[in-house]
Amino acid sequence: MSERRAICPGSFDPITLGHIDIITRAAAMFDKITVVVMKNANKNSGSFTPEERKAFIEKTVGNIKNVEVDIYDGLLADYARQKNACAIIKGLRAMSDFEYEFQMALTNKKLNPEVETIFLTTSTENMYLSSSMVKQIASMGGDISSFVPEEILEEIIKRLKK
């Protein structure tokens, strides 16, 4: 049987413990996971460059042997085709995520019928965790140690503290 590859896409600005939970669980379900830093047209250019985000991801999940990290500036449906992926994995937090994620999943299915979107429910402790919340707390000198991995904590604090 051919290798079953899934894509974990996101803006990852920066990666949080919530993302890591989803990536780790996805890695246990597929032969290969590609975590890809992409642009979200509804968000501004962000606090970290795509290269910085990729480096943060590599530092935290790079030790999982079937996980690779990439950057792509284009449509997710095209990227999934290029990578011959059978699935796109997204984490679902509260119901507020649902409508937007549902719309993206249906659109991606239209653009690339070969790929399924699979939603993993977030762990309860990450239910309200988001990169934008982490950035806001860090910029005001708050404690983000329970939201981001230890390996990148200091770098994030240094960069975001005003």
- The residues that touch ligand PNS, with contacts defined as CB under 6 A, are 9-11, 38-40, 43, 75-76, 104, 107-108
Q: Least distance to ligand PNS from the beta carbon of 36, Å? A: 8
Q: Least distance to ligand PNS from the beta carbon of 1, Å? A: 28
User: For ligand PNS, which is the closer residue by CB, 40 or 49?
Assistant: 40
Residue closest to ligand PNS when measured from CB atoms: 10
Q: Least distance to ligand PNS from the beta carbon of 39, Å? A: 6
Query: Is residue 93 among the annotated active site residues?
Result: yes
Phi, psi of 144 (to 5 degrees): -110, 15
Query: Is residue 131 among the annotated active site residues?
Result: yes
Which 8-state DSSP code applies to residue 73? -
Which 8-state DSSP code applies to residue 28? T
User: For ligand PNS, which is the closer residue by CB, 107 or 139?
Assistant: 107
Catalytic hit among 39, 59, 93, 109: 93
What is the chain's length?
162
Describe the crossing of helices 150-160 and 50-61 by its angle, rounded to 10 degrees: 150
Which DSSP helix (H) or strand (E) runs through 153? helix 150-160
Query: Is residue 19 among the annotated active site residues?
Result: yes
Distance CA 55, CA 66 (A): 17
Distance CA 107, CA 101 (A): 10
The residues annotated with a catalytic role in the active site are: 19, 43, 93, 131
